[in-house]
Amino acid sequence: MNTFADLLGLILATVLTLLIFARLWGAVRVFYPVAYLLLGLLAGYVAVVSLRRVLIPGLLLPLQQAQAWPTLLLPLGLLVLLLLRMSGRPRLYHLGLPAVGWLAGAMAGLALAGAVRGTLLPQMLAVIVLTPTEGRHPGLDPVLTLLSAFLTLAVLTQAWHRQETNPTLRTWLTVPARIGKLALMAAAGVFLGSLLTARLALPIDRVYELVEAWSRMIGGGNFFISF
């Protein structure tokens, strides 16, 4: 297990990890070459996966079969039009617009239909259902609903308060606007807190992996159990 290649890989992993961490104290000149190296490797991996799992089985292999040609004409035509956009010549570039339109239209159509069917309608129906029902829908909690409605109005009032020029109206809006501001701050705090907690798992995982790998390499045991 403790081969020279393992040792070399572990040293490389440790050095690269420390160089990435160097970003924390502002060593940008050290950080960016390593970051670009990793992004380059990632891009290369994605290119290989795309070639092996998409282009070869989806395009090149079917092209070898004569009966598959009719079904490939349209995608091939769109592919050629898309490639024309990389030519750098304005006229050829514009020829690729139908392919881009097709691509964007299809994706937007799918996304829109999915959003209506899978998000908007179910979410709206869940709010409209006023009585608890069996199974999935827990029903509506009147207190929670009123609180949510109030907070929504307060957040809207916060935006209104900033734009209002009438002094009397501004005075009336001050209190709900402050509540709305607090609600916004709480929401932002929850979001940022979740983000921080989630992202902290990565450096902890990285350090653990490295320390465990080094302990296995040096002592053949588990550092955290034998500590």
Residues that bind other proteins (CB under 8 A): 21, 23-26, 28, 31-32, 35, 39, 42-43, 45-47, 49-50, 53-54, 100, 103-104, 106-108, 110-111, 114-115, 117-119, 122-123, 125-126, 135-138, 158-159, 162, 181, 184-185, 188, 190-191, 194-208, 211, 224, 227
- CA distance readout (Å), 189 to 184, 193, 194: 8, 6, 8
Q: How far is the CB of 199 from other proteins (least distance, A)?
A: 7
Q: How far is the CB of 54 from other proteins (least distance, A)?
A: 5
Q: Which CB sits closer to other proteins, 32 or 69?
A: 32
> What stretch of H or E contains 171?
helix 167-219
Q: How far is the CB of 163 from other proteins (least distance, A)?
A: 11
- CA distance readout (Å), 58 to 63, 67, 79, 204: 9, 14, 13, 40
Q: How far is the CB of 203 from other proteins (least distance, A)?
A: 5
Contact residues for 160 (Cβ-Cβ < 8 A; gap 6+):
173, 177
d(CA 40, CA 86): 21
